[in-house]
Structures are given as structure tokens and as C-alpha cells.
Amino acid sequence: MSTQQVIILGINGHIGHNAAKAFVAAGWDVTGYGRSNRHPIEGVRFVKGDADDVEALRAAIGEIDVVVNALNLPYHQWDNGRMEAQAERVLAALGKSGKTMLFPGNIYNYAATDRVVTPDLPQHPQTPRGAIRVQVEKVFSAAAQRGDIQLIILRAGDFYGPNNTFDWFDLAMLSEAGKGKLKLMGARGIGHAWAYLPDLGRAFEKLAWHRKELGASENFHFAGHYVTPEDLETAIVAAAPVRLKVSMFPRWIFGAIGLVNPMMREVGKMAYLWENPMELRDPRLDAILGPGFATPFDAAIKATVVPFFAAERKAA
């Protein structure tokens, strides 16, 4: 049997990087597409190109049947139709090829009152960012319904993982770990959906492998680790090589910084995600992934925290 091929658009991002590793580990022929090969992965053939260049995208995709669309824009650049325009460029590059496109969704599509978030739950976004995400998915879904592509959306919570940057661990919770401080995200007693990136990457590969058993347009929800700040505290404190003084991260700081920083201003508008329990569930995806798929929470936290402290010591 010939090796299956996949191209990762946005190879340097959180999703792109971890999905690429998962596809390589599973034996796929993997191509990565991006402006630079910032984080080279053994076994990935890199193609340099701009996501705004439809012809370059089309040439890079070529005869590859599976496309992981991990492209994204900086958080404060989502509006004015830019996210939708990016989606349309990818679709233009794919044409009416019938190729499979896997796309990472998030929980912004749902309201704070949605306590258990399943794939069949109606989407009622609570913020402008949520409305943008809904519209982007509609653009892709319309293409799938026309038969232009097969669409597989995999929705997940907040990312974390080993050697990952620009997430809540390095930006907030462990930002002062060098001073022996842990600042927990969330509200005490309230569960929050977290996605361990190596597991999420493997979930993308599993869905790609099973794509011929799936419909034209699919929406899956990745449960990940649904935990409270207390659960985070226990796991992080146990994994950390130093004693940590624990407090809650002051979320009002987003508003203060947002007065001069557009990105933080937009982040602050998503506070409802931390104040309300919103659990992703999907028995159908669980059946595809199989029992014992997820890395145990304590092990995932340890794998994330230990390299962080090692990097801190090296920097010091």
C-alpha cells in the first residue's frame, strides 16, 4: 500500500506543528507549508510560501489529498473580513478537487449558557470573535455541501504542551515561575476545557485516516482535559521542581493592558470562557480515537511543566 500524503498549512503554529509530528509518527508522507521553517521537524518536507498567495498554495498542495488547514491570523486581526478572506483563499487553492480539509475549531462558537458542548448543539456565539469563527466555518461548510471538498472540523479547548509558547502556561500561569509563583487561570471550582497538543495532533491524524468513512461535512469535539483550577494546581505543583506560591491570575489585567495593546483588549472580551463551565463532549469521536487514547492529565502536565522549568534554569 502506498504511503498516504498530507500537507500542513501553517506548519509553525500550535496545531500545525503538533499535527505534523503526529502524521510523521503514523507513517504519512508529510509536507509543511509556511513563510519560514522556524521549527524543523524530521520527516517533514518544507515548502516556503505565503498564505495570501493562492497560486503558491495550489502548487504546494498539488496532488496531495489531505490538507490540514492550520492557518491563523494574529488575534487582533480577525475582523474586517480578514479571516473569511483567508478561508476563501484556501478554498480557491483547493478548487473543486474533493480533497479532505481538516480544520481546527474552537469553543468561541458557543454561549456561556452552553454547559455541555456537543457537535449537534446549535451555535450561538456570544462575542464578535465567536461570530467570526462561525462565519468561517459556514464558508467551509458551504464548499463541502457543494462537493468541492470534504470538511472535517475538530474543535478543542485551550492549548498546552511541551515546549509550547504563547499559551496560557507561559503567558500567565507560569510567567513568574522563576520567582516561585504559579498564577492559576479560571475561577475556582469551575471546569475549563484544555487540549494537550500532542494528543490533539494525533486526533487530527486519526480523523484523516478514517476520512473515507465520514460524511461531506463533519464536526467533532475533542474532550481533552476538563479540569478546575484546583486540579491544575495539584498537577502543576506536583510536577514543578521548585516550591510554588499559588494565587489566581488577575484577569482584570487584560483590560488594563488592553488600553494600549489591541490583542489583550480582544483577549479580555473572552473572559466568559473562564467564568462558566463549558465541557466538550463527543462520544462519536471517543469511539474513533479508542479507549486509552488521551495522555493522563498528570502526565500531560508533567510533560509540559518540566521542560518549562528546564528552560528557565538555562536562561538564568
230-270 pLDDT tens trace:
999 999 999 999 999 999 988 767 666 555 566 666 666 78
Query: What does the pLDDT read at residue 1?
Result: 42
Sites in the chain below the pLDDT cut of 70:
1-2, 252, 254-268, 312-316
Residue pointed to by grid coordinates 497560486: 55
Query: What does the pLDDT read at residue 260?
Result: 57
Query: What does the pLDDT read at residue 271?
Result: 83
Q: Contact, 71 vs 53, CB < 8 A?
A: no
**Residues facing 193 on adjacent strands:** 226
Query: What does the pLDDT read at residue 103?
Result: 98
Query: What does the pLDDT read at residue 254?
Result: 64
Query: What does the pLDDT read at residue 18?
Result: 98
Query: What does the pLDDT read at residue 171?
Result: 84
pLDDT tens across 300-313, in order? Answer: 999 999 988 877 66
Query: What does the pLDDT read at residue 256?
Result: 61
